[in-house]
Structure 1
Amino acid sequence: MNVATAVASTPGILLVRVGQAGCALRWDAERQCWRWPDPIGSQLYAWPAPPAMPSGLRLQERACAIACCSSGRLLLGLGKRLGLLDLPPPGQPSRPLQAQVLLTIDAAEPRTSISDGCADRHGNFVFGTANTATDQRPIGSFYQYSQRHGLRRLALPAVVKAASIAFSPDGRQLYFADATRGDLMRCDYDAERGKVSNTKTFTELAGPGAGAAIVDSVGNVWSVQDGVLVQYERDGRLLQRIALAREAAASVAFGGDGMRQLLVLGAQGGLYGLPPDLARGLAPGVEDGLFIDSGSASTGRAHA
């Protein structure tokens, strides 16, 4: 069990506030901006806004998971479906954007919906589902999807709501959690075979409410728990807990020059940087893998 550590409360450096909610935050290295969907307002936001592009784009459907693609498109988790989104050319008038649907997940089970996901280090998208019904039975699952192998269910425990999906810097270990109960877990991950093994507890969670997770370049894990950002060493030792004074944290992502800027997305749509006293000395992050979509060659960054 982790020893209790005081929570450092910070107002954060508010960079922008848009929309009604925050969920998944990702760094788009090609366009040099952070991106996140607002699942309540059906919007897709970017900061800083790319040249001649609006900061917000309207979507025809709600999105709650996002990954950048090797073609420059975006992969979105849209309820029970995965879809590819072409971003409009700069300066084009804004209109609701329709994603190209790739597949429907667990079509025979109306209670489940995609809840979290990210690209692995080899061009696949790893994601999980949640039970959206009131019974809250653990019927959510974890999957790997690629256009080479299709959809493969990962042999991980069933959950009420899949969360905290992240990868070690070398891509050989997968982190995951049930947002409603239990621990932050870690397992060995074979991307090519779509296999997992050696599943064990990485650390106990402070309580229900696990959200996004990322891993930095030295293997430290950053986990959102009950609206607080928690940092662990690679062995599971608790390092620090950071709370935003204005709103609960929803997601976190490294980006910027050298992947040295850590931003926190608030649950009510605020995007925050850490003040210098908290940001000083942090290890840089690791670029997200790129989902390899059809018609695009795999890149070195997708396999890094």
Structure 2
Amino acid sequence: MPILHKPEITRVRTAQATQATQATIRCAVGESPIWLAQEAAWYWVDITAKTIWRLDSRGEVKSWQTAEMIGCLSPQVCGGFIAGMESGVFHLHLNENGSVHAQSLAAPTESMAAMRFNDGRCDRQGRFWSGTMLIDMSVPRAAGHLYRYTKEQGISTPIISNLFVQNGLAWSPDGRTMYLSDSHPNSQLIWAFDYDIDSGTPRNQRVFVDMKTMDGRPDGAAIDTDGCYWICANDAGLILRFTPDGKLDRQIAVPMKKLTMCCFGGDKLDTLLVTSIAAGQAPDDEWAGATILLNPGVQGCAETTFAG
């Protein structure tokens, strides 16, 4: 992988420093990183550029263009990916020539005009979850919903509503706690839910962390094997780790101010890939929109493949 340089990354309340490496890929809105162990490769998306990126362990980079903006993707058992896009949920097959075959699976009955799907992933049982948001984030209207999709039941009615910018989906290692955030400045909340693993139903919504009292807005998240919740603090250039009881016990400063999501991967699931946003940042900021790899000193949980 082409490297520009290796800056030190500050780590708070840990005994060992770490470093990050930067690929020369610059994303307008980088998001939804995932690690595919069977390919020893990372995938992530650039939402507004309608691009899927792949980086393998040899440093080889490939990309694919999609017809719609793509907010998130998860691998499928049958091959390819399930994705939340502008008009609904799709199955994507990535062709060798850089094109994408997209098959529509479902769309919400609620209007998708001026909206798109955003953050999403599978629960521990392989159900796909994703939420919608207004494309123009500057509009202060909580029009977004969170949906569940399965092959057997299709797309659900809204499970959670009144969301500005749905984000931060994650599940505890045992799958019995679901996390969700709202990135909008009018919210900046992270919630926890009790999660029924049999029915795929979240209950008992409560505030897990109120980030209005902290630096940055809550964006995408990951879970480690200790059950701790790692959230990207957009606008602050920080990754924050919260224990299962909501205590901040670690933070990592990264060179990108507007980081969006982190994901554990690598052979031992001890590497974090972190995406970020270039849109709206200074043209001479070489880290804006960067995708970096770093060693956080802990092991993460593997992402679940969509069961359909």
TM-score w.r.t. the length of structure 1 is: 0.83
Q: CA deviation at 1:274?
A: 2.2
The Cα offsets for residues 91-129 of structure 1, whole Å up to 9 and x where unpaired, read as: x4x243131111122453524321111011111101111
Q: CA deviation at 1:139?
A: 1.8
The separation in 2 between residues aligned to 1:95 and 1:14, in whole angstroms, is 23
Alpha carbons of structure 1 residues 154 and 7: separation in structure 2 relative to 1, 3 Å: farther
Counterparts of 2:58 and 2:293 in 1: how far apart (Å)? 19
Q: TM-score, normalised to structure 2's length? A: 0.82
Unaligned runs of 5+ in 2: 1-10, 279-288
State the partner residue of 2:75.
68
Where 2:268 maps in the other structure, the secondary structure is: helix
Partner residue, 1:179 = 183
Structure 1 position 140 matched with structure 2 position 144: yes
Q: 1:38 aligns with which of 46, 63, 88?
A: 46
Instruction: Tell me if the contact between 2:188 and 2:217 (Cα under 8 Å) persists in the aligned partners.
Output: no
| Amino acid paired to 2:119 | D
Q: Residues 271 and 7 from structure 1, CA distance in 2 versus in 1: closer, same or farther, beyond 3 angstroms?
A: farther
Given that residues 10 and 244 in structure 1 are in contact (C-alpha distance below 8 angstroms), is that contact kept between their aligned partners in structure 2?
A: no
Deviation per residue, 1:110-154 (Å, 9 max, x gap): 243211110111111011111335542112111110011212235
Alignment partner, residue 305 of structure 2: 290
Alpha-carbon separation, structure 2, partners of 1:10 and 1:29: 23
The within-5 A match list for 1:190-269 is: 190-205=196-211, 206=214, 209-226=217-234, 227-268=237-278, 269=289
* Superposition misfits of 4+ residues, deviation over 6 angstroms: 5-11
Partners of 1:165 and 1:204 in 2: CA distance: 16
Give 3-state SS (helix, strand or coil) of 2:160's partner: coil
Residue 12 of structure 1 aligns to a residue whose secondary structure is strand
> Does 196-205 or 7-16 show the bigger shift?
7-16
Q: 1:191 to 1:145 in 2, by over 3 A?
A: farther
Letter of the structure 1 residue corresponding to residue 84 of structure 2: G
Amino acid at match of 1:123: G
Greater relative contact order (CA < 8 Å, ≥ 6 in sequence): 1
Aligned residue for 2:3? none
**Could you say what secondary structure the match of 2:191 adopts?**
strand
- Counterpart among 156, 163, 174 of residue 159 in structure 1: 163
Structure 1 pair 246–69 and aligned structure 2 pair: CA distance change class (3 A): same
2: CA distance, partners of 1:196 / 1:75: 22
Q: CA deviation at 1:193?
A: 2.0
RMSD (Å), alpha carbons: 2.6
Match of 2:35 in 1: 27
**Residues 195 and 113 of structure 1: CA distance in aligned 2, closer, same or farther (over 3 Å):** same
Is the alpha carbon distance of 1:207 and 1:144 closer, same or farther for their aligned partners in structure 2, counting shifts above 3 Å? farther
Q: Distance in 2 between matches of 1:100 and 1:50?
A: 31
**Matched length:** 279
Per-residue Cα deviation, 1:228-278 (whole angstroms, up to 9, x for no partner): 211111211111222322553221000111212122223234221226xxx
Query: Would you say the 8 A contact 2:70–2:117 is kept in 1?
Result: no
Deviation of the 1:16 alpha carbon: 4.3
In structure 1, stretches of 5+ residues that fail to align are 294-304
Question: Are positions 1:149 and 2:156 aligned together?
Answer: no
Q: Aligned runs of 1:50-69 on 2, under 5 Å?
A: 55-69=62-76
In structure 2, relative to structure 1, the CA distance for the partners of 1:75 and 1:155 (3 Å cut) is closer
Distance in 1 between residues matched to 2:232 and 2:256, nearest whole Å: 16
User: Is 1:128 matched with 2:131?
Assistant: yes
Which residue of 2 is the match for residue 85 of structure 1? 92
Distance in 2, Cα, partners of 1:264 & 1:7 = 20
Percent identity, aligned pairs only? 23
Deviations 1:187-245 (A, max 9, x none): 01124323221111111212663210111111011001224211111211111222322
Does the C-alpha gap of structure 1 residues 238 and 54 become closer, same or farther in structure 2, counting only changes over 3 Å? closer
Task: State the distance in 1 between where 2:165 and 2:243 align.
Answer: 25
Asked if the contact 1:173–1:188 (Cα under 8 Å) also holds between the matched residues in 2, the reply is yes
